[in-house]
Structure 1
């Protein structure tokens, strides 16, 4: 959807020429979010603004959906691109409805259509139309204004959006909420987005691809996982931080490494049955107890199964935590550390047990990815042979 071909910008200053963007070439596929990342003054915002010609390139070309924009009328170009900035940029003398409908009006939409579009956009950003459309920007919180800025950029349904640190001025809690809402919208809208950020965690969370800039040059352009697993040079490595392996936990879902090899017992099974299954499955400490719907209800420790008579329903302990298939590994690791355990049961959206995840499976997955990118071995998600234990709850 977006292709930059040797895009260059040189600013003339009293001290001489300054190269802000140096022969930037990259492509952003349709429907993806590309994050431009780097320290202040590295050229990422300059590159973004050359796409809609807020800054005119010194040389090079911008192609949108295969069309060279060099000869396009500047106003037509900008009206075809949604634009969101950190300062939001709402017109203070206009109502929220008037702000949202600015571009549709310029494009000649009739009144009924653009008014209905304003209501649609308010619903999309989770703000009540009747409560907000007639208000002015000064009557809204910073987070609400930022949502309106996104709604205005989307109002004319542009295929392409440019976003210049759109959530940077919002407090961390509201920023996380708005990021999540925006990603949900993107799943439905499928826009092509170029997004400037200086926040590594935001880039990893939001981006399908990340472009790292330094001193006007594009240093590395990769998927978040490839970037974290195989930084191109020492600058990228230091910029990402020493905890880049931990950052990768955000990118991997439980479903990618879950193992379906998990034993279980029912409440009416005897403790002798539990002991046999613990030993059959190689568990040294515990086995999961499930109900008739295969939902987890507790665990039976090996110590209890080995030394006590009776039924599982009378001797089970609580489950420290559960994870869903769509949870990321950061949540899994957090739960394991919090409860001092190395194994967690995984459930689907109906709460049914569908497998297990272990610390060893996590470390094996991360390690195999590093080795694969370095050309040593292919990625291996096999979690067989893991220590499937619930250590803490089984201690006596």
Structure 2
């Protein structure tokens, strides 16, 4: 847990005093990600750097897991904290494995334990240890280097991580991939993380909580859904954007609204079997699957009435499928792109997992509004 209590930082110049952080208060529970968000110069990076004392606070307290960090020297404090910045700073003359092992070796870990930790972490971010541990930074792409920078900060297993726009320099496609890998890793490691970003979409995707800063103060500190559904003031509403309702689609996955009772038949089924499957469900759509349970087409209940022959004589190709892990914004985008009202969903192995419909998406959005009002 990280607690900031009346945290303040002022800079005194010859003609004026600048308040970079003004009585910042927040509590980030253990295992959660808090994203600090706001315009340039709003105090979010200053607040982050005060936690590991890269910038000393003028006043206030910082507690990590209940301990006032003012009683720790800089080395003791920073041993508890992993730190990741946009400019990764990997050592070019060291292999990936050596880069990851730097901090554990400084802390006295034996080399066998440090190397085992490096292999464990590199696998967690979707890179093959056999291929990457012995490469040098120049042999990696920018996205791969950024992943190594993240796991280097995790190598000594710190309870707290500070991340200052860690994915900001990565192109959009690789950024999404790295964000997804990081969230998978976080689900397993459950670190307490403070994360500076300037991107509202990234904040909504990554954060359990979001703190929106303006002129050194927190304007709103809340769950992403609450901020998007109920901005605290016009500044917050303007900052998160007029399309905040659409942004809330990121907060729900296809899995949460998938209809798993959609009738299913094999490619070798007859129209009679399709009619029987349709009668056991309210759905007019009947999905056709192959021998591996992957969706390969569909027919409608109306087409099957009075039909004869093979189901493949009537089956239509699926315009697209979506993974159950996809958020609803991606689902809706795919629906619009293909001008359809429903899509088949697949699990991690590509097997049919149900269908998601536009009415189900609309209903889910309404439910998130109700939940946000109750919290």
TM-score grouping bracket, smaller chain normalisation? 0.7 to 0.9
Partners of 1:349 and 1:146 in 2: how far apart? 25
Q: Do 2:345 and 2:353's aligned partners in 1 also have CA atoms closer than 8 Å?
A: yes
Q: What is the CA–CA distance in structure 2 between the aligned matches of 1:341 and 1:289, rounded to whole Å?
A: 17
Alignment partner, residue 16 of structure 1 = 16
Contact 1:274/1:300, CA 8 A, preserved across alignment: no
The 8 Å contact of residues 270 and 310 in structure 2, kept in 1 or not, is answered as yes
Q: Indicate the residue corresponding to 2:218 in structure 1.
A: 218
Check conservation: 1:225, 1:248, Cα contact below 8 A: yes
Distance across 2 between alignment mates of 1:361 and 1:196: 34
- Corresponding residue for 2:29? 29
State the shift of 1:74 in Å: 1.4
List per-residue Cα deviations over 1:13-50 (Å, max 9, x = no partner).
22311111111111111111111111111111010011
Structure 1: segments with no counterpart, 5+ residues: 379-396
Deviation at 1:297, TM superposition (A): 4.6
Q: In structure 1, how many angstroms separate the alpha carbons of the residues matched to 2:161 and 2:244? A: 28
Deviations, residues 259-293 of structure 1 (Å, cap 9, x unaligned): 3453456654446973994798374xx54445788
Number of the residue aligned with 2:328: 329
**Residue aligned with 1:356, SS:** strand
Evaluate the alpha carbon distance shift between residue 274 and residue 289 of structure 1 in structure 2; reply closer, same or farther with a 3 A threshold: farther
1: CA distance, partners of 2:121 / 2:359: 45
Contact 1:4 1:24 (C-alpha < 8 Å) held by counterparts: yes
Residues of 1 paired with 2:175 and 2:353: CA distance? 33
Deviation at 1:241, TM superposition (A): 1.4
Counterpart in the other structure of 2:193: 193
| Alpha-carbon separation, structure 2, partners of 1:309 and 1:99 | 66
CA-CA distance at 1:336 after TM superposition: 1.5
Q: Quickly say closer, same or farther: Cα 1:309–1:46, change in 2 above 3 A.
A: same
* 3-state secondary structure, aligned to 1:60: strand
Distance 1:39 1:329 in 2: 27
Mapping of 1:238-317 within 5 angstroms?
A: 238-263=238-263, 268-270=269-271, 274=275, 277=278, 281=282, 283=284, 286-289=285-288, 296-301=295-300, 304-306=303-305, 308-310=307-309, 312-317=311-316
Kindly indicate whether the alpha-carbon contact (under 8 Å) linking 1:2 and 1:62 is maintained by their aligned counterparts in 2. Answer: yes
Structure 2: runs of 5 or more not aligned = none
**Mapping of residues 87-102 of structure 1, within 5 Å:** 87-92=87-92, 96-102=96-102
Give TM-score scaled by structure 1 length.
0.82
Larger displacement relative to structure 2 (112-121 or 66-75): 112-121
Alpha-carbon contact 1:4-1:63 (below 8 Å) kept = yes
2:158 counterpart residue number: 158
Q: Is the 8 A contact 2:3 2:63 kept in 1?
A: yes
Structure ID, larger Rg: 1
Secondary structure at 2:332 match in 1: helix
Contact conserved, 2:262 with 2:283, CA < 8 A, in 1?
no
Distance apart, 1:153 and its partner CA: 1.0
Contact 1:275–1:302 (CA<8 Å) still a contact in 2? no
CA-CA distance at 1:195 after TM superposition = 0.8
Q: How does 1:115-126 map to 2 (within 5 A)?
A: 115-126=115-126
Contact 2:262/2:281 (<8 A) preserved? no
Give the equivalent residue in structure 1 for 2:83. Answer: 83
Q: 1:195 and 1:308 mapped to 2: Cα distance?
A: 59
When the two chains are superposed, the root-mean-square deviation of aligned CA atoms in Å is: 3.2
1:61 aligns with 2:47: no
1:326 is displaced (CA, Å) by 2.8
Task: Say whether 1:342 aligns with 2:311.
Answer: no
Residues 345 and 353 in structure 1, CA contact (< 8 A), matched pair in contact too: yes
Q: Do residues 228 (structure 1) and 231 (structure 2) align?
A: no
